[in-house]
Chains A and B, each alone.
Chain A
Amino acid sequence: MGFFKEIYRNRSLYTLALPGLLFLVIFAYIPMFGHLIAFKKFNATIGFWNSPWVGFKNFEFFFSSGQWLEVTWNTIFLNSLFIIFGLGLAVVMAILLNEIRLAIVKRFAQSIIFMPYFISWMVVSLMVYALLNTTDGMINQMLKSLGMDAVGWYNNANFWPSILTIVYVWKMAGYYSIIFLASITGISSDYYESARIDGATRFQQIRHITLPLIRPTIIVLALLAVGRIFYGDFAMIYGIIGDNAALFSTTDVIDTFSYRALRQLGDFGMSSSVALYQSIMGVVAIILFNWIIRKVDKDSALF
């Protein structure tokens, strides 16, 4: 009866957790039954239970297309770039922000780098187009004025992993840096004081105090991101790349691929099969990443 005893003893704490738990149950656990749709020929008009079971038929379009490996690879590759550069630069920015002593400058800098986070991907895509288009894009105008040839950015897929990473970092790193900054602010100033007394330079303070102490935050954010590594950022990729087939070979991710395949059919079953594939791979990725973390640093692992 240890379980109930425990609940009773800490009843106020558990009550406090109740809304959050309810939220999870309603919005995360119950919808999991929706994965069953992946095995049904789902028809909204006859309802979930009356729709016939079809086994793995809904998975055929994806796995027999020959493109599933390419889009899966693109998804993982792009997301890895986003995670590594996004979090990496966010940490750097947070540390730099933390070093600013004048409060007003610090606030100003913070707001400026946070700003892009609020711009919608559709607007970002227009900005990217204004920068990169062949005819009067700003970058090509600059190249031309330097006597170079215009580059057909929108016709060459090889440029795009880097372009997307730059855009992602520009938009998202400010947001993550605020989280890191919060955890840096939480570090007791005693550490820095005693380090200074021992003659540590600023760089040494960063290396030996700040970084180790925000490591758990970095790991948690990275773990959360890895859990979604099989989900392409649809709003971003589709907003910027759209249906430009010339760029698919490096930018087509699972989400855009299945959107394109299913947008006319509107088949719930087939789209659910892709969602199920992404969820299962996401779980695998988390377990794997957590296992690695546990090898490296046991205390930082999630489980």
Chain B
Amino acid sequence: MKLRKWLVVMLSVMLVVLAACSNSNPSGGNEGGGDKEGGADLGKEVTLKIMLPGDRPQDLDKIVAAAEQKMKEDGLNYKLNFVFVPWADLASKTQVTLTSGEEIDMIYDAPWLHINQMTSEGYYTDLTDLIKEHGQNILNAGSELIFEANKFNGKMTAIPLGSKNGHANSIIIRKDIREELGLEEVKTHEQFIEFLRAVKEKKPEIIPYSAWGVSPDLSYAGIRIENDYEAGFRVTPAFNRNFTLYLKGNDPTVYNLFDEMDPTIWSYIELTRSMYQEGLINPDIMSSPDSKVMLKSGEIASMTYTDFSMQQNTLRELQANVPGADLEIFELYKFEKNANTSDYKQNDYLAIPKASKNPVDAIKFLNWAHEQDNYNLISFGIEGEHWEAVGDTQYKPLKDSYPWFGWSFLWAPKYHKFSAEFSPEDLAKNEFYYTAENFEKDVLTGFTFDTSPIANEIAQFNSIDAKYYPLIMNGVVDPAEAWDKYKKEGEAVVKKIQNELQGQIQTFLDGQK
């Protein structure tokens, strides 16, 4: 009869597992009714559930308690329930949450995640009227240009976070090495290459230059093309890291490098190749780990940098490994009014799902958070404990237990504070960059490329692209030979994608007239 006992045990284990599985779902949503300590005049307590990416800040509970207290004083009886989803599960978890209709009141979404898909399939509430009625603070905190440009099909279905404009790359250089070699500060590309040669010759143990080999847009050729203000090359909405299809200036015509190679682009590719052959570029650039890691460990003397102001923690980590090391930035980006275009599209959004039972309360809460003091509390923590103000527009963190995660949920340029570690020049650059009015409006502002009619071609091109383009742009292979192969395999699909893209752009422009 041992067998029967075993069966009983097995079955009960299975039952417990099944019960645990089916129970886990409804638990989150229904906490609102619980404790009723708030006064009757505040109305019914509402729990707002907010789903965000990343890790839960250590001191979040403390800040939430302070915020709830403050809201009560201001007449809002809200509880905040933050749910953090690890990056690796973000796409699937948020999609399942939305499609299964779980009651979430605010959720993070982004173009690289699934905001276009979710919006067009109607999962997000249209906030246009709600915000006008209950969220004036939100509208007042940002530029109208940004709100206008971030509408989806004419509806404001998500609140854009921040106000970035395009992307600005630079080259970061080991200042201490440059000074040791007796060179002047790098202001031109000729000086930069001179610096690389000097490193190669006098510091053979250090790699002169590296970048993220797998991101061809960050290769030396890539940043030269992107920052050539005379030619004004820009990537198309079809391939965001590849210049095989490109735009010139603020014009909607899509050019194709397979039809005609642009001599300027080709000269950058050949220059990069000669630098690679000369040993100025990391020979293992295609397989090296994160080049930022290499910079921090002191292995490389320069690299492409995806920011225009230096992040002090990078410098600190470098100095911990290499005492006396210092960094400086070789600027490629022009901080001049109307020198750059922007379609004002943001990278991060906060949406209110249709499944939410409390859309008005969610907006009221956000409206409350868009007041300077409340914004400070939620963004930076408790003043005096987590941060202190430096001037009007900067702050200094005092603890690591409440890192800024507002980029995923609350980020209004008007109230935002920059890190106190920013120098006055960095601060000026940041302020320039976050001001929409400094940019020329992109002709394609508001256009989104629908890839579904040519999904097969895109998938085919992705694998051809990965096979040749990063090698060509990083100078790892002979460009003439590789380009011929690349063209031979890719020409037909790229042509189809170009035609589809140009057609959709035309329809979009016709619709605007």
Question: Taking the nearest CB of chain B, how far is it from the CB of A143, in angstroms?
Answer: 14
Q: How far is the CA of A47 from the CA of B282 in the complex (A)?
A: 48
Contact flags A146-187 to B (C-beta < 8 A → 1, else 0): 000000101100000000000000000000000000000000
Contact between chains at B283 and A155 (CB < 8 Å): yes
Answer whether residue B476 sits at the interface, using C-beta atoms and an 8 A cutoff: yes
Answer whether residue A126 sits at the interface, using C-beta atoms and an 8 A cutoff: yes
Answer whether residue B139 sits at the interface, using C-beta atoms and an 8 A cutoff: no
Contact between chains at A270 and B470 (CB < 8 Å): no
B3 contacts across to A, CB distance below 8 A: 12, 15-16
- The A235-250 residues at the B interface (CB cut-off 8 A) are 241-248
Q: How far is the CA of A187 from the CA of B123 in the complex (A)?
A: 64
Answer whether residue B463 sits at the interface, using C-beta atoms and an 8 A cutoff: yes
Contact between chains at A129 and B289 (CB < 8 Å): yes
Q: How far is the CA of A166 from the CA of B283 in the complex (A)?
A: 23
B459 contacts across to A, CB distance below 8 A: 61, 261-262, 265, 267, 270
Contact flags A241-275 to B (C-beta < 8 A → 1, else 0): 11111111000000001001111111100100000
Contact between chains at A152 and B283 (CB < 8 Å): yes
Q: How far is the CA of A241 from the CA of B287 in the complex (A)?
A: 7
Question: Taking the nearest CB of chain A, how far is it from the CB of B107, in angstroms?
Answer: 15
Answer whether residue A66 sits at the interface, using C-beta atoms and an 8 A cutoff: yes
Answer whether residue B443 sits at the interface, using C-beta atoms and an 8 A cutoff: no
* Total count of chain A residues near the partner, CB < 8 A: 41
Contact flags B474-493 to A (C-beta < 8 A → 1, else 0): 00110000000000010000
Q: How far is the CA of A271 from the CA of B207 in the complex (A)?
A: 39
Contact between chains at A246 and B462 (CB < 8 Å): no
- Closest A residue to B10 using CB positions: A19
Question: Taking the nearest CB of chain A, how far is it from the CB of B501, in angstroms?
Answer: 15
Answer whether residue A103 sits at the interface, using C-beta atoms and an 8 A cutoff: no
Answer whether residue B192 sits at the interface, using C-beta atoms and an 8 A cutoff: no
- Closest B residue to A150 using CB positions: B283
Partner of B460, one of A57, A64, A263: A64
Contact between chains at B460 and A61 (CB < 8 Å): yes
Contact between chains at A154 and B286 (CB < 8 Å): yes
Contact flags A68-88 to B (C-beta < 8 A → 1, else 0): 000000000000000000000
Assuming A44-B99, A129-B288, A245-B470, is B299 touching A65 (CB within 8 A)?
Answer: no
Task: Report 24 cross-chain contacts, Cβ distance below 8 Å, ordered by A residue.
Answer: A15-B3, A15-B7, A16-B3, A44-B95, A44-B99, A45-B95, A45-B117, A45-B118, A45-B121, A61-B459, A65-B463, A66-B489, A129-B284, A135-B207, A135-B283, A154-B283, A245-B286, A245-B466, A245-B470, A246-B477, A248-B467, A264-B458, A265-B455, A267-B459
List of 3 A-B pairs having minimum Cβ-Cβ separation, nearest first: A61-B459, A244-B286, A243-B214
| Besides the known contacts A154-B284, A265-B455, 9 further A-B residue pairs in the complex with CB atoms under 8 A apart | A45-B95, A65-B463, A129-B288, A133-B287, A134-B283, A154-B283, A242-B287, A260-B462, A262-B462
